[in-house]
């Protein structure tokens, strides 16, 4: 352990991206400082995970240069933003400094066999089941101390969900069949915008969810009563803003 040089300056608040990715970044950094083995799971396409693993093995400057052509360039949804880029680059900087931090891209089915295996599930069930299995497969590579997943609120629910059709099991609910899961629901202040996907993915005005004078924190058991069946707690991030694309098409 003494040979590691963890770049803890990256953990300072001034260098963090806004909102949810920033809090996840602080958690990854804290785990690395404790010499824990960490897997960071990001909502990028699972079919590109092999490319992600190749890039993750590169030195830090080469890693950043490789990212635009690994599913980032021209993306205008939440996972293609500067905030997510800051999280991924920071996690890689920790890894480059000697921390045991790995990454897995888990979104969507990874191959035809997986698609067939979950084809009979209702509604969004096949997509959610594939996400969970891809995270679990990534976690099997090592004996990780923590698997940290940043994902949209629907996927993070641990109770059945309906979006106008039959009930289906969200990703986090499926993930519990592979091991222990603690699922947190984002809470933020009013004002600003957030990237959300309803009919399309775009920056939408962020309504007030709660008010607090506290800095960002995790509150287990503080979930509002209407959400208590689906989440184990909250993570409060204060005011939020929608960050711009990390790699617009012209770059």
Mean pLDDT taken over the chain = 84
Does residue 125 lie in a domain region?
yes
If pLDDT is split at 50, 70 and 90, which confidence band does 5 have? very low
If pLDDT is split at 50, 70 and 90, which confidence band does 52 have? very high
Does residue 195 lie in a domain region?
no
For 6-50, how does the pLDDT look when each residue is reduced to its tens digit (9 = 90+)?
Answer: 444 445 544 444 478 888 998 999 999 999 999 999 999 999 999
Contacts of 186 (CB under 8 A, 6+ apart): 19, 20, 153, 209, 234, 235, 237
Place of tokens 């997510």: 84
Does residue 246 lie in a domain region?
no
Report DSSP letters for 20-78, one per residue. Answer: HHHHHHHHHHHHHHTT--EEEEEEEEGGGHHHHHHHHTS-HHHHHHHGGGTTTTT--SG
SS3 167: coil
CB 72 within 8 A of CB 89: no
Residues of the domain holding 158: 8-179
Does residue 220 lie in a domain region?
no
Give the pLDDT of residue 153: 87
CB 99 within 8 A of CB 39: no
Give the pLDDT of residue 205: 59
pLDDT for residue 160 is more than 60 = yes
Structure token digits, residue 177: 């069949």
The structural domain count of the chain equals 1
Does residue 29 lie in a domain region?
yes
Structure token digits, residue 194: 């957030």
Higher-confidence residue of 111 and 70: namely 111
Please enumerate, as own/partner, the contacts of 188-192 that have beta carbons within 8 Å and a separation of 24 or more. Answer: 188/19, 188/236, 188/237, 188/238, 188/239, 188/240, 189/238, 189/239, 189/240, 190/239, 191/239, 192/239, 192/240, 192/241, 192/242
Closest CA to 184 of 211, 209, 149, 135: 149
Q: Rounded to whole angstroms, how far apart are CA atoms 237 and 20?
A: 7
Does residue 2 lie in a domain region?
no
What percent of the chain clears pLDDT 70, i.e. is strictly above it? 82
Does residue 224 lie in a domain region?
no
Give the pLDDT of residue 187: 83
Beta strands 201-205 and 193-197, pairing class: antiparallel
Q: Rounded to whole angstroms, how far apart are CA atoms 197 and 193?
A: 13
Does residue 202 lie in a domain region?
no
């Amino acid at each position: 352990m003494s040979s590691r040089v963890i770049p803890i300056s990256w953990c300072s608040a001034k260098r963090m991206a806004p909102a949810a990715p920033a809090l996840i970044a602080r958690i990854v950094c804290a785990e690395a400082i404790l010499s824990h083995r960490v897997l960071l799971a990001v909502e990028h396409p699972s079919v590109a995970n092999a490319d992600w693993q190749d890039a993750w093995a590169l030195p830090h400057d080469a890693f950043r240069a490789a990212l635009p052509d690994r599913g980032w360039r021209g993306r205008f949804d939440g996972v293609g933003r500067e905030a997510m880029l800051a999280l991924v680059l920071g996690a890689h900087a920790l890894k480059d400094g000697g921390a045991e931090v790995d990454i897995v891209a888990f979104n969507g089915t990874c191959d035809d066999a997986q698609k067939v295996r979950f084809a009979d599930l209702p509604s969004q069930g096949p997509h959610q089941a594939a996400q969970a299995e891809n995270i679990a497969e990534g976690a099997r590579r090592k004996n990780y101390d923590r698997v940290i997943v940043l994902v949209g609120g629907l996927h993070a629910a641990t109770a059945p969900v309906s979006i106008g059709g039959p009930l289906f099991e969200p990703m986090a609910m499926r993930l519990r069949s592979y091991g222990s899961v603690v699922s947190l629901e984002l809470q933020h202040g009013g004002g600003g915008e957030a990237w959300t996907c309803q009919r399309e993915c775009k920056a939408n005005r962020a309504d007030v969810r709660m008010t607090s004078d506290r800095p960002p924190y995790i509150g287990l058991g503080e979930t509002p009563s209407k959400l208590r069946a689906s989440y184990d707690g909250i993570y409060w991030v204060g005011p939020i803003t929608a960050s711009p694309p990390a790699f617009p098409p012209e770059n």
